[in-house]
Amino acid sequence: MNYISTRDKSVKVTAAVAIAQGLSNDGGLFVPDSFPKFTDKDFEYLTGVDYKQRAKFILKQFLNDFTEEETDYCIEGAYTGSFQNEQPAPISLIGKNANLLELWHGPTCAFKDLALQLLPYLLTTSAKKVNGGKKAVILVATSGDTGKAALEGFKDVENTEIIVFYPCEGVSNMQKLQMSSQKGENVHVFGIKGNFDDAQSGVKKIFSDNLVKEKLAENNMLFSSANSINWGRLAPQIVYYVSAYCDMLKRGEDLKDGFNVVVPTGNFGNILAAYYAKKMGVPINKLICASNVNKVLTDFIKTGKYNRNREFFATNSPSMDILISSNLERMIFELSGNNDKEVAKYQADLAEKGEFTVSDSIKTAMSELFFGGFCDEKQTLETINKYFSEYGYLCDTHTAVAMNVYDQYIAETGDDRPTVIASTASPYKFANSVLSAVTDEKADSDFAEVRLLNKVSAMEIPEPIAELENAKVRFNEICDKTEMVSAVYSALKID
Ligand SMILES: *Cc1c(COP(=O)(O)O)cnc(C)c1O
């Protein structure tokens, strides 16, 4: 297996290059040129082993130029001791068929930890092979959760610097405090005046700016990415969908007609990983793509037209406030039959006009694989309330969007087969909104809200959130979106 660029498939690299580099020089994303297909025997083996063994078995297939020892070392390092349980992705069954795949028991209380605890290991191992001793500079654009998870993953990792840009009006208080109080000698955090798309476009532009790259090279440095454009972010996410399937088999669930997967979606990374799991043989029936009112994906799945020219809403599920879903490019590459020219054309249209329309065959394939739905902020809160009062299950705002769209899907299709719902964050990360959904009582500070939520729900406060109350703010610099390059230079102390 090698990796090719979605915009020029003559570009062919190993896993280490794809991970160390992050993005192809032509602006395309790296994808495997073939996928392994698991047999019943493989699933039987995987069902009998723990999460780390599952991860090793699956990721070995993708890390073509890693030795077995290297892969094992990375996975042991990532998943030993950093999650609340030995199983970092446990399932809570609600009602008869809703399997909440809880991906928020890691150090930053959001699903990004599953990949970002592992990525630093994958990246430093890759960099040793291909960077010739250069320091890796990780640039991150975040809608709130990636930033913190990447900072935690990369803090004080040798021979790396990490620089995070977040939209200063677009993240929750808790998310902001998590990032601005980050410890570590190699970490840098900036708020930018703009939204997530501005941050992401800015970062992508820096990646393909030759002048900036030369400047880094002169200083013996090299850029890489911890965003889900990096293959090293996506591959670890495939693992938990395979793992969820194995856990359901182990429980004796009847899955002969497959199961559905619902994912609260922003950048299309998490749901793409579920698609790849399906492609590798996991019997996933429908992929249900849940959006908030920034419903660019719902519209795309229905119409085949992707149009980002619309109002941007800052919502109570901020990690999904995105109008340019980067990983959709990988999906379209796949559905076009690996047609790099076609993908490059759509992406050029998106850059120039803010929209593109896919061919009929892609549109049809897309709507067969996916069901797209969305809900507004009020419905999000109502859904939190509904599942809390009916089942005593408290979910965060992002997961609530998924639950709401799951309900819509059942109402529309009657298809109530077993379903895995990606539960992407701890409700405490969005305590303010979650609290307003379950009680009329008010609290007068962020941490008073956390305590009140604990009183109302009796759900344990995660340690990383409790700790924040006394955390010291280290970073409060805000820059204009046009000043991102100088922010990078100042962080790296180069000029
Ligand atoms: C990042 C994030 C999402 C969106 O995931 P994508 O992979 O970008 O689609 C959903 N929920 C939470 C809590 C997140 O942090």
Atom of ligand 1 nearest to the CA of 145: 15
Could you give the CA distance from residue 245 to residue 419 in angstroms, rounded to a whole number? 10
64 CA to middle of ligand 1, Å?
28
State the distance from the centre of ligand 1 to the C-alpha of 69, rounded, in angstroms.
31
Both structure tokens of 87: 């199983």
Q: Can you give the pLDDT at residue 155? A: 96
Question: Of 400, 408, 370, which is closest to residue 382 (Cα–Cα)?
Answer: 400
Report yes or no on 480 lying in a domain: no
What local confidence, expressed as pLDDT, does residue 197 receive?
A: 87
128-151 tens-digit pLDDT: 999 888 999 999 999 889 999 999
**Is residue 243, in this structure, part of any structural domain at all?**
yes
| Rounded mean pLDDT, 27-46 | 97
User: What pLDDT shows up at residue 228?
Assistant: 86
Between the CA of 293 and the centroid of ligand 1 the distance, in Å, is: 15
Q: Residue 54: which residues within 8 A CB-CB, separation 6 or more? A: 46, 239, 242, 243, 246
Predicted pLDDT at 196 = 87
* pLDDT at res. 390: 96
Which residues lie across from 191 on neighbouring strands?
166, 478
The confidence score (pLDDT) of residue 85 equals 86
Quick one: pLDDT at residue 403? 98
Average pLDDT over residues 386-405: 97
pLDDT higher than threshold 90 for residue 109: yes
- Reduce the DSSP state of residue 422 to 3 states and report it: strand
Residue 383 structural domain: 93-111+238-430
Question: Ligand 1: which atom is nearest the Cα of residue 424?
Answer: 13
> Which ligand 1 atom minimizes the distance to the CA of 264?
10
Q: How far apart are the first and last CA of the chain?
A: 40
Please check whether residue 230 lies inside any domain of the structure: no
For the cut 90, the answer to whether the pLDDT of residue 191 exceeds it is yes
- Separation between Cα atoms, residue 488 and residue 455, nearest integer Å: 43
pLDDT band at 208 (very low <50, low <70, confident <90, very high): confident
Instruction: Write down the pLDDT at residue 139.
Output: 95
Beta bridge partners of 372: 289
Enter the pTM of the model.
Answer: 0.95
327 C-alpha to center of ligand 1: Å?
Answer: 12
From 398, 399, 423, give the residue whose CB has the most ligand 1 atoms within 8 Å, as the site to mutate.
398
Could you give the C-alpha distances from 275 to 34, 190, 223, 279, 418, in angstroms and in order? 14, 33, 29, 6, 17
Bridge partners, 287 (sequence order): 261, 370
Instruction: Judge whether residue 62 has pLDDT over 90.
Output: yes
Rounded distance between C-alpha atoms, residue 482 and residue 462, angstroms: 37
Query: CA 234, CA 227: separation in Å to the nearest integer?
Result: 9
Produce one character per residue of 451-467: b if its CB has 16 or more CB atoms within 10 Å, e if not: ebbbeebeeebbebbee
| Amino acid type, 151 | L
pLDDT digits (tens, 9 = 90+) for 321-374: 999 999 999 999 999 999 999 999 999 999 999 999 999 999 999 999 999 999
**pLDDT at site 359:** 98
Q: For the domain that residue 361 is a member of, what is the CATH number?
A: 3.40.50.1100
Task: Give a yes or no: residue 31 inside a domain.
Answer: no
Indicate the pLDDT class of residue 77, thresholds 50, 70 and 90.
very high
Q: Of all atoms in ligand 1, which is nearest to the CA of residue 322?
A: 8
Please choose, from the candidates 307, 340, 233, the residue with its C-alpha nearest in 3D space to the C-alpha of residue 276: 233
> 308 CA distance to ligand 1 centroid (A)?
18
Q: What is the mean pLDDT of the chain?
A: 96
Show the ligand 1 pocket: residues with CB < 6 angstroms. Answer: 110, 112, 145, 228, 264-270, 319-320, 398, 424-425
* pLDDT at residue 462, rounded to an integer: 95
Question: Among the atoms of ligand 1, which is closest to the Cα of residue 144?
Answer: 15
For residues 408 and 373, the answer to whether their CB atoms sit within 8 Å is yes
Give the mean pLDDT of 18-26.
Answer: 92
What's the number of domains the chain is made of? 1
323 occurs within a structural domain: yes
Distance CA 475, CA 181 (A): 7
pLDDT of residue 144: 84
Ligand 1 mean position to 322 CA, how many Å? 10
**3-class secondary structure, 330:** helix
Residue nearest to atom 8 of ligand 1 (CA): 267
Q: What is the pLDDT of residues 295-324, one digit of tens each?
A: 999 999 999 999 999 999 999 999 999 999
In this structure, what are the phi and psi dihedrals at residue 146, rounded to the nearest 5 degrees? -60, -40
Does some domain include residue 371?
yes
Distance 387 CA to ligand 1 centre (A): 20
Within 13 A of 281's CA, how many CA atoms are on the CB side? 14
Confidence at residue 170, expressed as pLDDT on a 0 to 100 scale: 85
Q: Is residue 135 part of a domain?
A: no
Calpha distance 198→308 (Å, rounded) = 13
pLDDT at residue 172 above 90?
A: no
Q: What's the CA gap between 167 and 462, in Å, rounded? A: 25
Q: Cα–chain-centroid distance for residue 278?
A: 18
Atom of ligand 1 nearest to the CA of 396: 13
Instruction: Answer whether residue 436 is part of any domain.
Output: no
